[in-house]
């Protein structure tokens, strides 16, 4: 299979480095899977937090003790 332009650029960029590339099937690569799921989970929690703060403001409730505010 021929490389596309993006793959060729990466190959050119990486050719000066000494590294070993190993393939891990999806089921075996649990660390990467866990890390990617963590960011998705955190994004949904942050969105829910903002939604709740807006609802509190609509009810004239004050959020106290929130970091960064």
For residue 5, with 0-12 CB atoms within 10 Å meaning exposed, 13-18 middle and 19 or more buried, which class applies? exposed
Residue 54: the pLDDT is 84
Q: How do the domains of the chain map onto residue ranges?
A: 5-58
CA–CA separation, 48 and 57 (whole Å): 14
Model's pTM, two decimal places? 0.32
Strand ranges (E), 1-69? none
Q: What is the pLDDT of residues 1-59, one digit of tens each?
A: 898 999 999 999 999 999 888 887 767 666 665 666 666 667 777 888 888 888 878 88
């Amino acid at each position: 299979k021929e490389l596309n332009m993006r793959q060729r650029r990466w190959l050119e960029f990486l050719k000066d480095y000494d590294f070993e590339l190993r393939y891990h099937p999806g089921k075996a690569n649990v660390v990467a899977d866990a890390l990617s799921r963590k960011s998705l989970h955190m994004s949904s929690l942050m969105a829910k937090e903002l939604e709740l703060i807006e609802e509190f403001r609509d009810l004239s409730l004050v959020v106290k003790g929130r970091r960064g505010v």
